[in-house]
Amino acid sequence: MEQDIVIESLPQIKRADNQKWQKFVEVLALVLGVGFLLSGIIFFFAYNWDGLHRFVKMGIVLALLLATFAAVVKVPMRDWIRNITIFALCILVGAFLAVYGQVYQTGADSYLLFLGWSLCIVVWVVVADFYPLWLFFMSLVILTYGLIPTVKFNLFDYLIIFSIFTVFFEFAPKFIPNKSIAPKWFMTLLICTLSILAVTIYIFQEEFVSPVLLVVIAIYGLTGFYSYEKKNLLGYSVFCIGILILVYKLFIKMIGYYESMVFITLPFMVAIYFLGKHIIDKKKKWESVSDEESMSTENLDK
């Protein structure tokens, strides 16, 4: 039995074949070629930038924008290439706004650039429904909020923004026609970010009980519930690790001096043991449920 288990878990031998090597060299040559060419063009314009007329400066960026737009609309291409082209288009919108701000010295606050950028690309983001582009859009929104001069840095605000986005992506497909269901990796990323933010806020919060803390705990509990319901093992594990950290912090807050940490070492080890066992049990249960579901789907198809 011991020998059987050892043989079962031997790592697979993987090798790149002729076709994979060909593709690798082609992709490497293409990426290096495009990267060098674009960098060279950017440096060329950077060197000559001061000498260029303002219309030429904006004209160059606008021409690139229009060319990309024409490519998206007119050129037949695969969906994933179209999505990447739309992504490039959205980035060029930002470049145009930056050049416009520089040429006319508008004196606007930096958050206005990102606000304008987000508003200009929102239609494209919704149309493309490409999740890396959604991530980019979310980062623009968060950056816009963070750069508002009157807003002080507060993790709780970002927790609320992420929560709103998570709720939107979870429920939007039910209410908005043609809105796709967010892929698992995307929702896992959002859930894990929410969990980590909630735990970080709790660690640095001075008060024992406060309305903010109650909201944080509620959001944190919901992330655990969501991971459990969706059978998301990574999200659930992050939630469980967070529980350990929260309990640890609670002990330190309650007792108040470092020597007391003696008393929580052993219970902590026991907690890790039982938590590991719990996650393994959940993994087995969820895997058997998904196997049953896939088998029943195959039977239905037949």
Partner 1 sequence: MELTDKYDFEEGTKLTWPLKLLFFFGGLITMSTMLVLLCVFSKETSKFFGICMMITSIVMTRIINNEKLILSVAYPLFFVGQVFTNIFIFVIGNDTWSFNNIIIINVLILTIACFFCRNHFMRQCILLAIFVLVPLTLINKKNQVFYHIFFYYAILLWGVYALTIKYDANRFGKENLYTHYIPTIRFCAALTAIGYAFTSVIFVIMGRIDTIFKTGNVGNGVFESVVCALFTFIVAYKLLSREMKGTKNFIWCIALTLLGCVASCISPNIAIAMLGLVLTYTVLDYFGVAICGLFLIFALSVFYYNLEIMLIYKSYLLMGSGVVFLSIFYFLKKLSK
Closest separation between CB of residue 164 and partner 1, Å?
27
| Cα–Cα distance, 275 to 247 (Å, whole number) | 13
CA separation (Å) from 178 to 6, 129, 138, 175?
Answer: 49, 9, 20, 9
Compute how many residues bind partner 1; rule: CB under 8 A: 69
Give me the DSSP letters along 240-284: HHHHHHHHHHHHHHHH-SGGGGHHHHHHHHHHHHHHHHHHHHHHH
| Position 6 contacts partner 1 (CB under 8 A) | yes
| Position 10 contacts partner 1 (CB under 8 A) | yes
| Position 39 contacts partner 1 (CB under 8 A) | yes
| Cα–Cα distance, 35 to 66 (Å, whole number) | 21
Among 131, 180, 259, 299, binds partner 1 (CB under 8 A): 259
| Position 253 contacts partner 1 (CB under 8 A) | no
| Position 132 contacts partner 1 (CB under 8 A) | no
- Restricting to residues 222-251, which ones interact with partner 1 according to CB under 8 A? 233-234, 236-238, 240-241, 244-245, 248
Residue 112's nearest CA partner among 145, 161, 87 is 145
CA separation (Å) from 1 to 9, 11, 98, 101, 294?
Answer: 13, 19, 66, 71, 30
Among 21, 55, 185, 225, binds partner 1 (CB under 8 A): 21
Contact residues: partner 1, CB under 8 A: 1-3, 5-7, 9-11, 13-18, 20-22, 24-26, 28-30, 32-44, 46-48, 233-234, 236-238, 240-241, 244-245, 248, 258-259, 261-262, 264-265, 268-273, 275-277, 279-280, 283-284
